[in-house]
Structure 1
Amino acid sequence: MATASVFEQVLDYTNRADPYPLYRQLRTTPVVREADGNYVVSRYRDIVALLHDPRTSSRDVVKLGGFISTDPPEHDHMRRLMNRHYGPPETPDRIDRMGPDLMNIVTGLIDSFTGRTEVDLVDDFAYPLPVTAICRLLGVPVEDEPRFHVWADAIVEGLGPQAQGFEEARRHADDAFAEMGQYFATLIDAHHQLPGEDLLSAMVTDDRTWEGMSRAALLSNASLLLIAGHETTVNLITNGMLTLLRHPDMLDRIRQEPDFVIRTVEELLRYEPPVHMLIRKALDDIEVAGTTIPAGATMQLVLASGSRDPDHVRDPDRFDPDRHDLERMDFSPEESQHLGFGGGVHHCFGAPLARLETQIALTELARRLENPRLLADPPPYRPNPVLRGPRHLPVGFDHVRSAQELGILGGRAPTKVATRQHG
């Protein structure tokens, strides 16, 4: 039997808990052609260059639908339409306005820990928070979570290099997209007839949306936002708490220094990112680090390797939030020290919301759990090597400090919060 390549070892589930030594090996040969014809790119500067290179394409290789699976100028046009009611310049405060509601969701979830000394941080917190948040942002009934959870699982299983060549996984993902599209067709009609304060209502009642986007495109983009709006944030929160429990001094600093959580989240995006690789296709011959990647070839851009490239960041395997300068938190994606949100025209659309959710989540977990500790290290991981994160994170603690004791406003569980009771 042939020896597995380094990249094949990365994809092997047995290395899911710690792929970083393998990434170090990958970087010794910056561009590697795999036996299946894929080209693996692992250094920061090469990945950034390709993310900004118009000769690379996301079309037909990124299997999430919506604008993320298109190229400019179609991508730019759809993204601008989606952004009108989401972010600057036309709606600069939508995410900021979600802050109190996010705080209420987090407070209610942690309140539910009262009387317990052990939780699964994924099922009991890191999953229901972003699911509830994205449902409220979009105007999706949170009680429909059991339906779209099945679709999201099928779509995620169809992502990444491990799914290439597995027609059954792609068929299940395609079926899930079709069912989700039918679901959103009904939901969008309801929002058009009786609009609310949510993003979908704002879009379907804006004539500019229909002038610039087909109904099919809107359904595809709505599905994209629902899936991408929670799957990656679950990983970011869970990887974040896992890392902080391995570095209890950093957890203490979050308790003592409120602003420290901002740079902590940036470092988590570099050190333990929620997305480990992206797929692109070469539209023309592209020379990378002395290797010519031919037109039509598929490239695996290993973001998590690039973010730990010692040629880009000093002492990359050390978790050090202080390496991020708070005064430069308005830097452009091209100046970032990490690839946690990708880069180029496809820089993560949901980055502002993911940052805010994770900052609030980690701050409140640090403040309210007394003597938190890992009950399994390493924890069991999700099978997917692209969206890498623990499937469960058992955490023990002595006591839950009450919201009232800490002067937290609200403190009541939200009316409806997503719960995860799936294998």
Structure 2
Amino acid sequence: MTTTETHDTLHRILDYSSRPDPYPLYAELRRTPVARQEDGSYVVSTYREIADLLHDPHLSSDVRNLSHPMPSAEGTTTPAFINMDPPEHDRMRRMAMRHFGPPHTPGLVAGLDPDLTAVVSRLIDDFAGKERIDIVDDFAYPFPVTVICHLLGVPREDEPRFRLWVNDIIDAIAYDPKTDPKEKLDNGIKARQALRQYLGGLLEQRHGKPGDDLLSRLANDDGPDGRMTDEEIVATANLLLIAGHETTVNLITNGMLTLLRQPEVLQRLRAEPDLVVPLVEELLRYEPPVHIIPWRAAYSDISVADTVIPKGSQIMLMLASGSRDPARFRDPDRFDPDRRDNQHLGFGSGIHLCFGGPLARRETQIALTELARRLDAPRLVADPPPYRRSPILRGPIHLPVDQGGG
């Protein structure tokens, strides 16, 4: 494909009209594994090339290594570790992981099972007497928000405040100065600043007051790498609050939509609850919550699939396209919970492998198992359902379902 053709395909992928089904367009894009765009950026769409780049030390996550600054990065002060490179990234991630998972807190996620199940059960109990439910508003959104608020130490009653900020931040990530109003970017910058100020206020209350929540632990614990500064703690909390629920909302909703479209798999999950483990892995491949890593930067000239990407170039990694690549996955457009060798890109790969992946997996496993068990005869109201605006974090904004019982 020519530069103009790949640019047109990418434009159609990013256009909202393609949100219900971008996969045929990903197939078009894969004809040119590494495609230069008219603005000098590069789009990588095939599994092998994406996986190699995610493990390539010449690829940078630091916006400062781009030849041309990213508009959506305006207003950012201290970055979260997801936007850092080693050794700073490694130090910050270790400091956060001490309180979030192995090796220092290996039982955190597994220990949450009773609480996760209790939250899910209460939400499904509230379906009683309702002929129609919205899987997003009534279930997939409140569940992970409740969990991440509890883990971080953010008051659950503050959710209406930070939900507006998070929505504006997510919208601004995909800001395109050629097509989007400047207001979209400005709103994202203001929301990012407001959310950080809010989290900073919560952090101030934790100093000198050790507690079990993550904000308290980060504020009062000195580990082998020392203690994070307040700005670093706020940046980390900001990342975890957003990523800790936004991706899981999509994963649960995409999962329920997939099961409703394939009732035989839904019925099988009712009869075989253990199927949920490989089923969620296949879901991460087939309908992932994150479709695109919108930018990485080349530290130096990089050769990928016979294409030389110059130093400082912006690189866009099409994760969802790579996970549907027929060169890596047999019959990739078929949802197969029995699939073996399923090394999908649903949580990325390499040093930036999703920090909260184990929690998101467990939340989704419990959510889908209980929905399958307790909804007698759920039926889609509309297919496709309405989707969120973002092409990066892709999922339905609502999923109305008629239930036959509860």
TM over 0.5: yes
* Alignment of 1:374 onto 2:375: no
Match of 2:399 among 368, 384, 393: 393
| Distance (whole Å) between structure 2 residues aligned to residue 164 and residue 238 of structure 1 | 31
Give the C-alpha shift of residue 151 in structure 1: 1.1
> SS where residue 206 of structure 2 aligns?
helix
2:57 corresponds in structure 1 to 54
Residues 210 and 216 of structure 1: CA distance in aligned 2, closer, same or farther (over 3 Å): farther
Among candidates 129, 138, 158, match of residue 172 of structure 2: 158
Structure 2: segments with no counterpart, 5+ residues = 64-69
Q: Say which of 74, 95, 101 aligns to 2:88.
A: 74
- Residue in 2 that maps onto 1:235: 250
Return the offset for 1:163. 6.4
Distance 1:360 1:162, change over 3 A: farther
| Structural mapping, 1:7-156, within 5 Å | 7-60=10-63, 65-156=79-170
Per-residue CA deviation, residues 91-127 of structure 1 (Å, 9 max, x unaligned), is 1001111111111110000000001121011111110
SS in 2 for 1:322: coil
| 8 A Cα contact 1:68 1:346, kept in partner | yes
One-letter identity of the residue aligned with 1:305:
S
Distance 1:284 1:164 in 2: 27
Query: What is the letter of the counterpart of residue 377 of structure 1?
Result: D
Deviation of 1:39 after TM superposition, in Å, equals 0.6
CA distance change for structure 1 residues 229 and 6 in 2, over 3 Å: closer, same or farther? same
Match of 1:345 in 2: 351
Q: Is the 8 A contact 2:285 2:320 kept in 1?
A: yes
Match of 2:226 in 1: 211
Contact 2:219 2:228 (8 Å CA) reproduced: no
TM-score relative to the length of structure 2: 0.92
For residue 173 of structure 1, report the CA deviation from its aligned partner: 2.1
The question of whether the paired residues in 1 share the 8 Å contact of 2:208 and 2:220 is answered with no
- Check whether the contact 1:204–1:210 (CA below 8 A) recurs between aligned residues: no
Look up the equivalent residue of 2:285 and give its one-letter code: R
In 2, the alpha carbon distance for the partners of 1:380 and 1:71 equals 37
Q: Residue 162 of structure 2 contacts residue 195 of structure 2 at CA under 8 Å; is this kept in 1?
A: yes
Q: Which residue of 2 aligns with 1:170?
A: 185
In the TM superposition, residue 164 of structure 1 has moved relative to its aligned partner by: 7.6
Deviation at 1:207, TM superposition (A): 2.3
Cα separation, 1, equivalents of 2:102 and 2:157: 30
Write the distance in 2 (CA, Å) between the matches of 1:164 and 1:109: 42
Correspondence for 1:411: none
How far the C-alpha of 1:177 sits from its partner, in A, is: 1.9
Deviation digits for residues 334-372 of structure 1 (CA, Å, limit 9, x no counterpart): xx5210001111000000110010000000000000111
- The CA distance in 2 between the partners of 1:296 and 1:149, in whole Å, is 34
Q: Determine the C-alpha separation between the residues in 2 that align with 1:108 and 1:17.
A: 30
Query: Aligned-pair distance for 1:183?
Result: 1.1
- Kindly provide the amino acid, as one letter, of the partner of residue 7 in structure 1: L
Could you state the TM-score of these two structures normalised by the residue count of structure 1? 0.88
Please state whether the residue corresponding to 1:280 is helix, strand or coil: strand
Per the alignment, in what secondary structure is the counterpart of residue 192 of structure 1?
A: coil
- The percentage of aligned residue pairs carrying the same residue is 57
Q: Which amino acid aligns with 1:364?
A: E
Query: In the alignment, residue 376 of structure 1 is paired with which amino acid?
Result: A
Matched, 1:301 2:281: no
Answer whether contact 2:20 2:384 (CA < 8 A) is retained.
Answer: yes
Q: What CA distance in whole angstroms lies between the structure 1 residues aligned with 2:88 and 2:166? A: 25
Aligned residue in 1 for 2:327: 311
